[in-house]
Chain A
Amino acid sequence: MKTLVKIKVNGVRHEHEVEPRVLLVHFLRDHCKLTGTHVGCETSICGACTILLDGKAVKSCTMFAVQADGSEITTVEGLARDGQLHPVQEGFWECHGLQCGYCTPGMIMSAVELLGKNPKPTREEIACGIEGNLCRCTGYSHIIDAIEFAAKKMAKKGAK
């Protein structure tokens, strides 16, 4: 039996008939064809699948699509606006905050949520803020640099 699930993803309405057991991450990847959100562990430990669900960072591998019915979701594909990278994306690029890039979309989404809640985090607060995301390549230092970079850039923008 399939259920109609309606979700607004990156400002675009998506309606698909899916089995109730379909994971939100598979709804995004297989049905909405947005493959930027990755699956790393299927147990909500690694955070590669992190998205923003009604503004909150959520691990989409351990949530059913039906649970997200009626919500608004932002995925990594929805961050850049009019060809302009989001400051967090810029930070990751500027500071070499990624190597293989697999954890990166989830890491970026967690950082976006973190900076929304705490626009001026210390390095320690950043490290704690991304503790739900695993990276096996970078050793995290450059990721923390990237998020610091984004915080400064966003503060400047805000001041203008």
Chain B
Amino acid sequence: MAAATKKYVGQPLKRVEDPRLIKGIATYIDDMTLPGMLHVAFLRSPYAHAKINSINTDAAKALPGVIGVFTGAEVNDKCGVVPCASQMPDLKNPNHKVLAGGRAYFVGHAVAVVVATDRYVARDALDLIEVDYEPLPAVSDPQKALEKNSPLTHPELGSNTAFTWTLANGDIDAAFKQADRVVHQCMIHQRLTPMAIEPRGCIASHHPGEGTMTLWTSTQIPHLIRTLLPGMIGVAENKLRIVAPEVGGGFGSKLNLYAEEALCCHLAMRLGAPVKWIETRRENAMSTIHGRDQIADYEIAVKKDGTLLGIKSRTIADLGSYLQLLTPAIPTLTGLMLGGCYKCKAVRMDVTGVYTNKMATDAYRGAGRPEATYAIERMMDVIADELGLDPIKVRQKNFPKPGEFPFNTPTGLTYDSGNYQGALKKAQQLVGWEKLLKQRDTARKAGKLFGIGISTYVEICALGPSKMMAAGGWEWGCVRIEMSAKVTVITGTTPHGQGQETSFAQIVADRLGVPIEDIVVMRGDTAVAHYGRDTYGSRATAVGGSAIVMCIDKLVAKGKILAAHLLRTKPNKIEFRDGNFFIKGSPKKSVTWKQLAPESYLAKNIPPNFEPGFEASSFFEPSNCTYPFGTHIVAVQIDRETGEVTFVKYTAVDDCGPQINPLLVEGQVQGGIAHSLGQVLFERTVYDENAQLITGEFMDYAMPRAKDIPEYLLGSTVTPSPSNPLGIKGVGEAGTIGATPAIANAVIDALSPLGIRHLDLPLLPEKIWKAIQQAKGSQK
């Protein structure tokens, strides 16, 4: 018997995917060129709302190198509407076409498309298109959009209300009657722009002989696109191949089927040549989905000891001007996580989805859960403040105990497993809690604005059971032991930076007992990964990894049958360990994959009815979502003169279940926190009162840079999930969900001696400085 193989799971291995990326030889969408390929550019509306009286494309068409110029009138009846997967009762949908028809209704709305032999020429041609716009009144503020005399984003819908949605459970009136106190706060979750560093882009190539279409696109969801695109372009699913090449960041912004992707397919068919479109940064800022943009009014009924009795939220969700794939679903995810990690018997949330003349909102890292967590964690601090209690004790009072899991929430979820007390305790130990409190006392005595913020969060991940998901929530995988005993793993998830080429190889190496170097993980091409539900909602490892585990179980069972045949015994006498199949009790009588694989493919010495080859594929259907949790503790100091926030400490303890690769987990947590830090301190997507986009470039949209990042003290606890065989909970969004309220709470705590109890994000130095000046004024 060979020596036991090394255990890979749990090791902080460096990534398999990195060499091609650090050498600059990876293939992103713009790195690809096809023979005869044409270049596409879009003319976009500079107005938030305008009637299009006429479009003259003659001069553009006459430019040498221009192959075609098309307007809505020429393509909209040939392409279906952009799909929305969230079917809500009473949802009004404006049927967004691939190009604007008689009306443009947001800045960036594509009104014409140019195809040329060269990308420079395509851009030149845009300047030669004459559009006669007649500006119409526009609305950018969702509250104003609900007023009676507001301009209508879509006059044909009769109002700006897209839908109303209510989630209610428990006796909310009784809860508020029993309350010693009702704590009230309104909070704004500002609009954010995901800003993946690689903009979107695609290449469409039609093969008229076969009637097939290949679309290479910078996407998180090639499989969902393959499901949805037939309805837009009339090519059947089995004639469509979608490929996500190397994808330069997504954060939810590439979890969509966009008009440009369908239109490029149409143009490739129409012109008989492959076409390429690469989004510019300006286009990315105005016509790739935005995130957040909710106004939430919270009332929480509490007993004077801090016990939560009931939560009421009235939320206005700004959907922008039309519906992308999941637009209306995002605020409903906020609703599901309304109560955070606390016991509370009665809840009610009323959401009003509103159309405004802005880009559509959709899933941006966290997708509705950061909004829920921010609100409840801010509220816990406000409650503690109003009742004169310790914010930690208020949280502890309302946590379910570890023994109370699976824990049913009033919002209808079942939290799988948890130990919120454990994560909190560990974070307090890690940060040196008592010492930190003393440090705050000392700083405050010296007149400094020093604050400590905490967030104890829970999130919903590993989406999810198919009953919750419009297009199914399972995941597919395939494992093939090749004739050479090399191993090919194919996943239906579509990693784009998360590192599953490495972490899946770790899982497979351990379970098959083969060297990790012998494993290749393939993803992102529907011709290779036949089925998949792709990567979003922190699902890839928990759900996709579980499908791989199912495949391995099938292969090992099959291996036992062949090994028994070769060792002249019965399959139930065979044991499998570390890559060896051996007769129980006689480990020397063994065979390995290296012997079994060629036997199975050559198929000359196999048992009767034994299917040759070694390939297994599986669909894994999770029994529940997973609910990762943790505690973030942040200490900040604020400069009184400038309002600038400086980090003193940042500690996070995250529980994402067992970790396949702690280095990758750490990367996800740190990256997630950076998005939160951006939201709390700098980032905001700004439209003016005419719905003109102000933050249309990196120059105007402030994102964190290296010098803005604190030194982290990170830890973890491990509470396995019963929802999947790996026990994994997921970690892709945890940082973004847990960090925002912790940082905000720290800033408000620093300002609390001045009597400030809440400020809306982002907490720009100017806003903090003004609040300090105002507080000074009122103290005089």
Contacts and interface: CB of A to CB of B under 8 A. Distances in A.
Are A and B interaction partners?
yes
Interface of A: 19, 21-22, 29, 34-43, 45-46, 48, 75-77, 79-80, 85, 89, 92-94, 96, 98-105, 108, 123-124, 126-128, 130-131, 133-144
Interface string B707-719: 1010110000000
A133 B706 CA distance: 8
Interface in B15-36: 15, 17-19, 21-28, 30-31
A5 to B, nearest CB: 15
A143 to B, nearest CB: 7
B280 interface: yes
Nearest to B195: A136
Interface in B200-249: 246-249
A104 B22 contact: yes
Given A42-B281, A93-B15, A100 B197 contact: yes
Contacts of A85: 19, 22-23
Given A29-B30, A76-B24, A96-B664, 12 more contacts: A22-B120, A35-B31, A41-B697, A89-B23, A100-B196, A101-B246, A102-B28, A128-B707, A131-B707, A134-B698, A136-B197, A136-B251
Contact of A41 (B15, B24, B28, B281): B281
A102 B200 CA distance: 12
A100 B499 contact: no
Contact of B497 (A22, A80, A101): A101
A3 to B, nearest CB: 15
19 contacts: A35-B27, A35-B30, A35-B31, A36-B24, A40-B197, A40-B199, A80-B23, A85-B19, A92-B18, A99-B671, A100-B497, A101-B18, A130-B706, A131-B706, A134-B197, A134-B698, A134-B703, A140-B670, A141-B711
A100 B23 contact: no
A36 B246 CA distance: 12
A130 B697 CA distance: 20
A43 B698 contact: yes
A135 B697 contact: no
B667 interface: yes
A143 B249 CA distance: 16
B699 interface: yes
A-B pairs, top 9 by smallest CB distance, nearest first, are: A36-B24, A102-B248, A101-B21, A100-B497, A139-B674, A76-B24, A99-B497, A139-B670, A45-B698
A98 B24 CA distance: 12
Nearest to A99: B497
B712 A141 contact: yes
A142 B706 CA distance: 10
Contacts of B30: 29, 35, 38-39
A100 B698 contact: no
B692 interface: no
Contact of A100 (B19, B247, B280, B675): B247
Nearest to B281: A41
A98 B197 CA distance: 12
Nearest to A105: B24
Given A34-B24, A101-B246, A101-B497, A139 B709 contact: yes
Given A92-B22, A101-B248, A124 B707 contact: yes
A77 B670 contact: no
Nearest to A40: B197
B666 interface: yes
Interface string B643-686: 00000000000000000000110110011111100000000000
Contact of A139 (B198, B199, B250, B673): B673
A79 B426 CA distance: 43
A48 B30 CA distance: 14
B22 A96 contact: no
Contacts of B494: none
Contacts of A134: 197, 698, 703, 705
Interface footprint category on B: 35 or more
Contacts of B17: 101
A19 B707 CA distance: 39
Contacts of B281: 40-43, 46
A141 B249 CA distance: 18
Contacts of B248: 38, 100-103
A135 B675 CA distance: 11
A142 B21 contact: no
A135 B703 CA distance: 9
A143 B22 contact: no
Contacts of A38: 28, 30, 197-198, 248
Contacts of A34: 24
A33 to B, nearest CB: 9
Contact of A138 (B18, B667, B697, B705): B667
B496 interface: yes
A102 B709 contact: no
Contact of B120 (A21, A89, A98, A144): A21
Contact of B698 (A46, A127, A135): A46
Chain B CB within 10 Å, residue with most, of A21, A37, A38: A38
A141 B667 CA distance: 9
Chain B CB within 10 Å, residue with most, of A77, A80, A98: A98
B703 A136 contact: yes
A41 B18 CA distance: 23
A137 B249 contact: yes
A99 B671 CA distance: 9
Contacts of A19: 120
A152 B26 CA distance: 27
A45 B705 CA distance: 11
Contacts of A37: 24
Nearest to A61: B281
B14 interface: yes
Contacts of A133: 706
Contacts of A124: 707
Contact of A108 (B22, B197, B670, B674): B22
Interface string B688-731: 00000000011100011111010110000000000000000000
Contacts of B196: 100, 102, 136
A110 to B, nearest CB: 10
B707 A48 contact: no
Given A80-B23, A127-B706, A140-B709, A100 B198 contact: yes
B673 to A, nearest CB: 6
A51 B246 CA distance: 21
B517 to A, nearest CB: 16
B161 interface: no
Given A40-B281, A45-B697, A100-B197, A93 B664 contact: no
B280 A42 contact: yes
Interface string B98-128: 0000000000000000000000100000000
A118 B499 CA distance: 32
B498 interface: yes
A78 B484 CA distance: 35
B14 A138 contact: no
A80 B22 CA distance: 10
Interface string B489-506: 000000011110000000
